Amino acid sequence: MIPTLALQEAIRARLLADPVITQHIEPARIRMAAVRPEQLPAIHLSPSRTEILGRASGGQIVAEVSQLLHVWAVQDGSGTAESIAAAALVTLMDAPDAQGFDFDSWERPALVWSEQPAFDGAAHAAISLRAVIRWHE
């Protein structure tokens, strides 16, 4: 089994541990989802992209995993969206705790804001993450 769900759960746990993020977003709104949220602000982790790179010693499997986080917030001039996105970038600069897999690499996150306001004028940003992980079969 590929531990992408465990990686997503580790990312979510890291986000939930950040006081700036939880000041603005209820925990239930930080979740795995591929759809726009009904309530804002929210962070959605989209389905990950996994590419198997091969085998490592001891019967381990190595894969590159790419993950997108979508930050959604009301564009009201309060800076909430920017605060949430900045906190997510800082808290994800280092790899989260791994359960059932190991990191070979963790790239620093990259952020891009949508040039067009999303539905109902909401601010929307995407944060990309990339890691190389390995685990035992």
User: How far is C-alpha 95 from the geometric centre of its chain's CA atoms?
Assistant: 11
Q: Mean pLDDT in the chain? A: 93
pLDDT on residue 118: 59
Domain ranges for the chain, please list them. Answer: 4-136
47 pLDDT higher than 70: yes
Give the mean pLDDT of 70-93.
Answer: 91
What is the model's pLDDT at position 119?
63
Query: What would the pLDDT profile of 32-46 be if each residue is shown by its tens digit?
Result: 998 889 899 999 999
pLDDT at 1 over 80: no
In the predicted model, is pLDDT for residue 78 greater than 80? no
Alpha helices in the chain (DSSP H): 4-16, 19-24, 80-91
- pLDDT for residue 84: 97
**Domain 4-136: assigned CATH number:** 3.30.2000.30
